[in-house]
Amino acid sequence: QSVLTQPPSVSGAPGQRVTISCTGSSSNIGAGYDVSWYQQVPGTAPKLLIYGNNNRPSGVPDRVSGSRSGTSASLAITGLQAEDEADYYCQSYDSSLSGSRVFGGGTKLTVL
Partner 1 sequence: EVQLVQSGAEVKKPGESLRISCKASGYRFTTYWIGWVRQMSGKGLEWMGIFYPGDSDIRYSPSFQGQVTISADRSITTAYLQWSSLKASDTAIYYCVRLDTSGYFFDYWGQGTLVTVSS
Q: Which residues bind partner 1 (CB under 8 A)?
A: 2, 33-34, 36, 38, 40, 45-48, 51-52, 57, 89, 91-93, 97-106
Count of helix runs (H) and strand runs (E) in the chain: 0, 9
CA dist 34 and 102 (Å) reads: 11
Nearest distance in Å: CB 6, partner 1: 9
At residue 57, φ and ψ (nearest 5 deg) are -65, 160
CB 95 → partner 1: shortest distance, Å? Answer: 12
Choice between 13 and 42, CB closer to partner 1: 42
Strands 107-111, 9-12: pairing kind:
parallel
Complex with partner 1: residue 19 or 40, whichever CB lies closer = 40
